[in-house]
Amino acid sequence: MRALVQRVSRARVSVAGRTTGEVGAGLMILVCAMQGDTEGEADKLAQKIVKLRIFKDAADKMNLSLADTGGAALVVSQFTLAADTSRGNRPGFSTAATPAEGERLYTYFSDRLRALGITVANGEFGADMDVELVNQGPVTIWLDTAA
């Protein structure tokens, strides 16, 4: 699985003008299931993100995790993280999981974050979404369980 994680002071996702998920301080997580991914990759990714020390401590050092800060996560599915641009200018997405498997793993991933004690808000799988966020830092980190 792939994720693009951004430390945010706030984030919101809406579909057709209707807010589907919103968080204050925490993380914006764009996530993509790849072909062959299983619950094991989703578990690994969720655990890594919850423990990722990218929040500032009292000494102004990135030393705290999402779990340490009590922050929330806005999780949005984004199959375009599977983009392959190696053969030209039009990206291909054939390495992404099928929509049914992608949705299953997206839901499973969100549930794993909740099981790890994180408050989670979500986008709407497969919808055309508008995402707004304030990237704090900025801090943006790419994670891939295959790497």
User: Active site residue: 6, 55, 78, 109, which one?
Assistant: 78
Give the integer Cα–Cα distance in Å for 112 and 78.
Answer: 18
Residue 145 a catalytic site member = no
In the set 6, 20, 55, 79, the catalytic residue is 79
Q: Is 79 assigned a catalytic role?
A: yes
- The radius of gyration computed from the CA coordinates of the chain, to the nearest angstrom, equals 15
Query: Residues with Cβ < 8 Å from 71, sequence gap 6 or more?
Result: 23, 24, 25, 26, 27, 55, 118
| Rounded Cα distance, 138 and 116, in Å | 25
* Catalytic pick among 35, 47, 80, 98: 80
C-alpha span between 9 and 50 (Å, rounded): 17
Q: Number of C-alpha atoms within 13 angstroms, CB side, residue 24?
A: 3
Region of residue 49 (phi > 0: left; psi between -120 and 50: alpha; otherwise: beta): alpha
Is 125 one of the catalytic residues? no
Distance, in Å, from the CA atom of 58 to the CA atom of 15, rounded to the nearest integer, reads 38
Catalytic positions: 78-80
